[in-house]
Structure 1
Amino acid sequence: MKDPIVHLTPHYQVPSGIAKCFAVSCLIFLVYLLLSSVLVPNVNQLYHSISPQNVPLSPASTTSLEHIVFGIASSNKTWFRRKEYVRLWWRPETMKGCVFLEEMPQNSPSDTNDSVSLPPLCVSGDTSRFQYTDKIGLRSAIRVARMVSETVALNHNNVRWFVFGDDDTFFFPDNLAKTLAKYDHGLWYYVGTNSENFQANEIFSFEMAFGGAGFAISYPLAEVLAKVLDPCLERYPHVYGSDSRIYACLTELGVTLTHEPGFHQMDVRGNIFGLLAAHPTRPLVTFHHLDAIEPIFPNMTTLEALKHFTKATKLDPQRILQRAVCYDQRLSLTVSVSWGYTVQLIKGNVPLPDVLRAQQTFRSWGMRPEANLDTQRYDSDPCRRPVVFFFDNVFSNGDEIVSIYKRRENNCTNETKIDEIRVYSEKLDLDMKQAPRRQCCDVLRSSANSVTGRIRECGPAELIHMHP
C-alpha cells in the first residue's frame, strides 16, 4: 500500500512520518482547546465574579449619587433625635442605602413622613457569637462594623461606591460624589481621613479612616471585604471601635487609606469656627460630632444653623468654605472670605500664609491639648481679633452668585463701622484631576458701612498679596 499523501500544493508531497506527526499534533491541540474551555475559567467571568457586571473598568460616565449606597450607623436611643440631621442632607429620589438599628422602632404619629424623607431602616444581624473584650468600649462596635457586609448584601444595582457614616455625620452629597468621581471605581479604594486630634491618631492609627467622618469603599473592594469580614472580626475582640475593625481587615487585605481632607471627624469640642473658616482647598464632604460642638452660627440651635448653612451649599456646593483673600490697600484691610460661612476683616496687611492658619477657637477632645492641625492662637482680647461677619443670604444674579455676610456681634467699642459685606462669584466647578489652586479676590468698592468683593480665577502667574 502506498503512503498517504497530504496535498499542500499540487506539486509537493509530504513524507509519511512527518504527516503522521502533524496529524497527531493537530489532534492534541484540539483536545487542549476543548479542555481549556471546560477547565480554565474565562478571565472576564472571573473578574465579574468579584465586580458589578454593570460597572465598566474605566469610568464611561461621571460618578453621581445614583452610584453610591449609604450605610448609616445608628441606635434606637439616638435615631429619633438625630434623624433630623439626616433629613437635611438625604435625597430620597436619588440616594439609596439604609440606617442600621438594633431593632425596628415602634411607630409614632411623627414617623408618618419618615418613609419618604429618610433612608429606610434595617435591623442589624445578631453578633452574639463574636467576642468583645475591650474594657472601655461598647459591644455595638461589632454590629456597626458588620454594617459593611450587610450593606453590600442589600444587592443594589448600578453601584460604584459604598459610603459609611454615623447618624451624626452630616454629608454634603454633591461634594461627596465630586470627590469620589476622580477615582476609578473599578479598582480597590478605601477613602477617608484621620482625626484632628493627635492623641486619637496615636491610639488608633494615622492611616485609619475614622468612622464618624465617614469613609468610602469602592465596589470591588467592598465585595471582597464582605466575604472575609466575619472571620477577620473574630481576630480582633480586643479592638475598641467599629472603624478600627474595618481598618484592621482592610489592612489584612493589603489596602491602605487614600486620604481626602474634605472628610472631617471633628474630634474637638466647643466652637469649630476656626476649623471651618480655614477649610482646605478641597470640596467639603462631611463633618461629625454635631452634638459635641456648638452651633456653627451664633444665636441658633444646631439644627437651625445647619438649615441656614444648606442655603449656600445648595446654590454652589463646591464653593462652600472655599477660602479667598482680598487685599484693600486704600483702607489697609485684609479680607478673608470662607464662602457661604464667614468673612473676616483684619486690619493691616497680613501675609497670606499667616491668614490661612486655623484659629484655635475649639477645645481639645481629651485631656491632652495637642491637635493634629496647623493652628494659631485665638486672642482672648476681642479687640485684637478679626472682625467677623457671618453668612446671611445668597441668591443668583444671572451668571453671578451674590452672597451676603453681616456682623452679628461687636468685638469691641472701637472697631470698624462696616456691617455688611457682599461677595460676587461664579458657580465653582473644580477640576479634581489638577492640583488644587486657591482663587483670587478683588475688593470692588468699600465705604464706611460696606465692602463689596469678587472672587475669580487667578491669572497664570498671579500672586495673592497686598499690591503697592
Structure 2
Amino acid sequence: MGTRPLRRPPELRPDRRGSDMPANSFSRIRQTLTSSSVARILFMLFAALLLLSLIFRRPSSAAAPEPKYAESVSYLSTISSDSTSPGHLLFGIASSASTWPSRRDYIRAWWLPGVTRGLVFLDSPLSSPEEDEGIPPIRVSSDTSRFPYSFRGGRRSAIRVARIAKELFDAFDGNFSYGEVRWIVLGDDDTVFLLDNLVATLAKYDWEQWYYIGSMSESVEQNIYHFFGMAFGGGGFAISYPLARVLSKVMDSCLMRYGNLYGSDARVFACLAELGVGLTHEPGFHQIDLRGNILGLLSTHPLAPMVSLHHLDSIDPLFPDLNRKESLSRVLKAVANDPGRILQQSVCYDRRKLLTISVSWGFTVQVFEGNQVLTDLLASPLTFRPWKRGRNATSNMYMFNTRNLPRDQCKRPAIFFLESVSSSKSSIESNYSRNGSGNCLQGNILTKSLRKITVYSEKYHVQAGKALRRHCCDVLDSSLEQVMNVSIRKCRDIELIAPNP
C-alpha cells in the first residue's frame, strides 16, 4: 500500500538487570567484611563501581527495532533543550500519487535522513511502493468524502490536504517526550525548505505559545482572492506544537463549516482564526506566485533569512545556463557554505570608476554604471510576470516595491551569476561569471571588459532575537581589468551605504 506502519520510538532508559550470585555468596561476603578493614574498603569500592556501571550502561540497540518514521535516535538524544534544531521539527508534505514521482527530488534536495522527521501524504497508494531513506515515509490520507466542498471549479483534494495538520499530529502524538517536537511544518511536494534558516526563524519564538508562522503571496490579487492574513501553504508554514494539538481536536468540525473555501491553507487559516490565532508574518517563506524570470525578486531579497521556495516548475531556471534541477543544486551548494547569507543584498560603490555593485550573495552580482541610491536598488526590477495576467487591475500589483527595467539594454546593469563557492576556516569565496545575454550593441563602456567577480565574506551568523542589519562591502584592487574583487563586511556604527556619504 506504500504506507509504513508507525511504531513508538524506543525509550532510552538504563538497563535494570542485576547480576546472578551463588546461593552461598552472602556468607562469604560476611566473612570478608569481618576479616580486615582493607578488604572491607576494597569490597565497598567494587560494589560502588558495579552499581554505577549498571546505572549508566548504554541501552542495547537490539532491545527494540528503530521505527521506520523516526530517524536516528542517537541524534535525537543529543538535542539541546535550550536551542531549536532540525530535529525539533515535524514535517507534513502534501502530495499525490500522480505528482510525487516527478517532484520527490525537490524533497530529496533538502531532507536530512537521520535528522528530519515527518510524512508525505498521498491521495492513493503508489503503483510501485518505494523504500527510500532519502525522503520521508509515505502515508495515504484518510477518506474525506463526508466533508462538504462547494467551491465551484475547485478541487476536493483541498480538504484532504488541510486535514494533514490533524493526521500528522495524530500519527506522532504520544511518541515523544515534552519538547522533543516543538513545531509542525506543512508544505507541498514542490516546496524546498532551507533547514538552517527555517530553524533560525522559528527559534525567535517561544514554541510553548500558540504561534502560526508563514507568509502571504507575492501577488496582491491572490491575497485579495483568498486572505491577506493567511499563510500560503506552498511557501510552507509552521504551527507550534501546543497549538497543533488543539487544532487537531477541532479541525474536523471546522472542515464541516468551510466547504465554500477554495484551498487547504484557507481552511487551516479559518480554523486557527476561530481559535483566536493570527498569522505571524515572516518574509523568508516564499510562495512564488510569479511567472518567468524571478531574478528581480531574488536579487532584492528582504533583510531576513530565506526559508523556502515554491513553484519551481512554474518559473524559469534560476541560472540561464542550467536547467531547474541543476540551478537548485547550485543554490543549495551556496547554502551549504553559508545558509544565513544566501540572497542577502549588499551594495557598495567603486568611486574611482563610478560603478555601483549590488551583491545578492550566492546568486548574482549586478554592476551599474554611475551612482545608484540604495532605496532604488531595494525595489525589485520587473523581470517576472504576474501569476495570472490580465484578469483585473490588481493582476500586475505585488506585495513589495518594484521598479521598471530601462527599455534601453545599455542602461541595464551587467549581470554576473554564481559559478562556484568555496570556504576555509577564515573566509568564504564565491565566484560569479558574466551573463552573455543582452542586446546592447555598443556595450557598456565602464564594464565592457569585466568578466568575473569574486566576493569574499565571513560566515553570516543569524542569532535568534538579534536585530538584523544589512552588511556593507568594498571594491578591492585588482591587477586584471577582467576581474573585480569585492569584500563583504559588517558596517561600522555610523557608516552609510551611499555613493557620497
Structure 1 length-normalised TM: 0.85
Question: Hey, what does 1:284 align to over in structure 2?
Answer: 306
Q: What SS is found at the alignment partner of 1:125?
A: coil
1:146 and 2:167 aligned: no
Question: Hey, what does 1:294 align to over in structure 2?
Answer: 316
Question: Hey, what does 1:344 align to over in structure 2?
Answer: 366
Question: Hey, what does 2:116 align to over in structure 1?
Answer: 95
1:439 and 2:471 aligned: yes
Please list, as runs of the form range in 1=range in 2, the aligned pairs for 1:351-370 lying within 5 A after superposition.
351-366=373-388, 367=390, 368-370=395-397
The code of the aligned residue for 1:66 comes to G
Task: Deviation per CA, 1:136-185: give whole Å up to 9, x if none.
Answer: 21000000000000110121521000000001111111110111011000
> Deviation of residue 461 (structure 1)?
1.3
Question: Hey, what does 2:36 align to over in structure 1?
Answer: none
Question: Hey, what does 1:455 align to over in structure 2?
Answer: 488
The code of the aligned residue for 2:421 comes to V
Measure the CA separation in 2 of the matches of 1:329 and 1:434.
32
Q: What SS is found at the alignment partner of 1:154?
A: helix
Measure the CA separation in 1 of the matches of 2:315 and 2:185.
23
Question: Hey, what does 2:147 align to over in structure 1?
Answer: 130
Measure the CA separation in 2 of the matches of 1:107 and 1:427.
44
Question: Hey, what does 1:422 align to over in structure 2?
Answer: 454
1:407 to 434, 451, 465: 434
Measure the CA separation in 2 of the matches of 1:93 and 1:403.
30
The code of the aligned residue for 2:218 comes to E
Question: Hey, what does 2:411 align to over in structure 1?
Answer: 384
The code of the aligned residue for 2:157 comes to S
Question: Hey, what does 2:281 align to over in structure 1?
Answer: 259
The code of the aligned residue for 2:384 comes to F
The answer to whether the 8 Å contact 2:200/2:463 transfers is no
The answer to whether the 8 Å contact 2:94/2:122 transfers is yes
Measure the CA separation in 1 of the matches of 2:220 and 2:498.
32
Please list, as runs of the form range in 1=range in 2, the aligned pairs for 1:145-164 lying within 5 A after superposition.
145-155=162-172, 156-157=175-176, 158-164=180-186
Question: Hey, what does 2:53 align to over in structure 1?
Answer: none
The code of the aligned residue for 1:106 comes to S
Measure the CA separation in 1 of the matches of 2:227 and 2:147.
23
Mean Cα displacement is larger for which, 444-453 or 261-270? 444-453
Q: What SS is found at the alignment partner of 1:122?
A: strand
Question: Hey, what does 1:53 align to over in structure 2?
Answer: none
Measure the CA separation in 1 of the matches of 2:452 and 2:288.
30
Measure the CA separation in 2 of the matches of 1:60 and 1:72.
26
> Deviation of residue 397 (structure 1)?
3.1
Q: CA RMSD in A?
A: 1.5
Please list, as runs of the form range in 1=range in 2, the aligned pairs for 1:115-126 lying within 5 A after superposition.
115-126=132-143
The code of the aligned residue for 2:114 comes to E
> Deviation of residue 379 (structure 1)?
2.6
1:374 to 401, 418, 421: 401
Could you list the runs of 5+ residues in structure 2 that have no partner in the other structure?
1-79
2:341 to 313, 316, 319: 319
Identity of aligned residues (%): 50
Measure the CA separation in 1 of the matches of 2:202 and 2:330.
26
Question: Hey, what does 1:85 align to over in structure 2?
Answer: 106
Measure the CA separation in 2 of the matches of 1:212 and 1:133.
22
The answer to whether the 8 Å contact 2:181/2:241 transfers is yes
> Deviation of residue 60 (structure 1)?
4.3
> Deviation of residue 408 (structure 1)?
2.5
Runs of 4+ in 1 over 3 A off after TM superposition: none
Aligned length: 407
Structure 2 length-normalised TM: 0.79
The code of the aligned residue for 1:287 comes to L
Measure the CA separation in 2 of the matches of 1:96 and 1:323.
32
1:229 to 251, 265, 272: 251
Measure the CA separation in 1 of the matches of 2:338 and 2:309.
18
